[in-house]
Amino acid sequence: MANDNYPVIVGVGQRVNRSEDLDEAREPAEMMALVARAAEADAGVEGLLARVDSLQVVNILSWPYADAPALLAERLGARPNHTLYSAVGGETPQRLINQTAQAIAEGRVGVALLAGAEAMNSRRLARKEGRQLPWSPRGTPMRIDGDTRMGNTEVEARHGATVPTRVYPLFENAIRARLGLSIEEHRQRLGALCARLAAVAAGNPFAWFPRARTAEEIIDVNPENRMICFPYPKLMNAIIEVDQAAAVMMTSAATARRLGIPEERWVYLWGCGDVNDKWFISERLNYHSSPAIRLAAQRALGMAGIGLDDIAMFDFYSCFPSAVQLALEALGLQPEDPRPLTVTGGLPYAGGPGNNYVMHSVATTVERLREAPESFAMVTGLGWYVTKHSVGIYGGRPPPGPWQRSDPEQDQAQVEAMESPPFLEQAEGAAIIETYTVAFDRKGQPEQGVVIGCLEQDEGGRFFANTEPDQEAMRAMTREEFIGRRGRVSPDAESGRNVFSL
């Protein structure tokens, strides 16, 4: 039997709306209300939503409101004394669960509702049809809780490192070079990994694309699967244009017993960890590993008192293949590990609803552990550009001891103590490519080469640069290994960018 103050998840709800009929579109506030009621029904006790004293909403990209928690509370008839509207970050749902679990254990929260929703596909359809959506007024959030720093610097953005589709390939190519694989070998490796994820999505009723895909289908570049940013064609990218919502309800073991929530519905957060990598891309120690994922996972496993071999299933955050591989590397696992690497199918196939994907992975994990209560699962979340990391270890049986979470600052201090390479806003001289990518336009033509390199002298300062606008040279970068290539870098006064030339 769990200790009275032990935090438990008692109800989950998910929703997907794949309809292309705008008359069937639902705004995020309504979708969150629907999944909140589904979570209450899932817990098996009427009136649970009326008891919510902490209502937390994950940052909404598609249709922000001035006060999303208040709007949701009104629709649910709830009167929480604590509300939260999160900052941006794909790790947010797991981080909120970790923080809420601590608040429950300390007696500061009785019943908590965590919810999020996106309606990007409906917005796309409305733009396409030239229609106004009859939804609640949009607004600038009055309050955002959490770290609101942007994910990149002005210098990084100036050189094209502006969005995830352009940044995660920089990690991917570094991983390939670290493994010593040829571009073709690496391409096949990515296809096999992504096909594993898509196969899980095929069996997920809440997936945006509930269909299996072969490795060859995923890696074959064609007009329907155009190259976005080398080495990722479209089918390797998170799909944000989805209408999806998910919610989780949490309380203590004592409250769950008092309310009559059946114990077979309870799932326990055995362990958790929250650590950020060096915040900006240019500060990273390297681009093929993540110290923060390793520390967060170690903390979560240590808190749970179990080993990696005890985990029966994973859901690794999978906005792009590099995110999955960085988690595997941090844990010392291989892509061929026979255990599930995702319970949903991942963001390219199950769907990437903004900051709320992990709420879906947690909800699905809860359902899986109810079916196999002796098992353990690990869920990871990732925000910005391999920047923010949260890990949860879940089990279907009560832990043997009390809830005892360490201060995340202990682990964060270890990352901050790691020395980053010196960074140069303007660089000039002989240089070596550390990692790179090539961005493509919608017609399949290369449009920009992005390089992270280091000077061969002056202590090897790191820099961002763009290649010269030579399409043949950029195409060569997709056919040959350019990491480790030598060339020259020089600042361009007109654009303010560094230019790398071979």
Are the beta carbons of 386 and 277 closer than 8 angstroms?
Answer: yes
Task: Supply angle C-alpha 270, 275, 276, rounded to 5.
Answer: 155
Instruction: Identify the pLDDT of residue 459.
Output: 73
297 contact partners, CB below 8 Å, separation of at least 6: 273, 327, 330, 331, 378, 380, 391
Instruction: Identify the pLDDT of residue 2.
Output: 73
Measure the CA–CA gap between 412 and 407, rounded to whole angstroms.
9
What phi and psi, each to the nearest 5 degrees, are found at residue 14? -140, 155
Instruction: Identify the pLDDT of residue 458.
Output: 67
Instruction: Identify the pLDDT of residue 460.
Output: 81
pTM for the whole structure: 0.97
Q: Is 345 helix (H, G, I), strand (E, B) or coil?
A: coil
Q: How many residues does the chain have?
A: 502
Which residues is 466 bridged to in the sheet?
450, 499
Measure the CA–CA gap between 88 and 397, rounded to whole angstroms.
33
Instruction: Identify the pLDDT of residue 371.
Output: 97
How far apart, in Å, do the first and last CA atoms of the chain sit?
66
Measure the CA–CA gap between 230 and 187, rounded to whole angstroms.
10
What phi and psi, each to the nearest 5 degrees, are found at residue 465? -155, 165
Q: Low-confidence residues of the chain, pLDDT below 50?
A: none
Strand (E) or helix (H) holding 335: none
Strand (E) or helix (H) holding 50: none
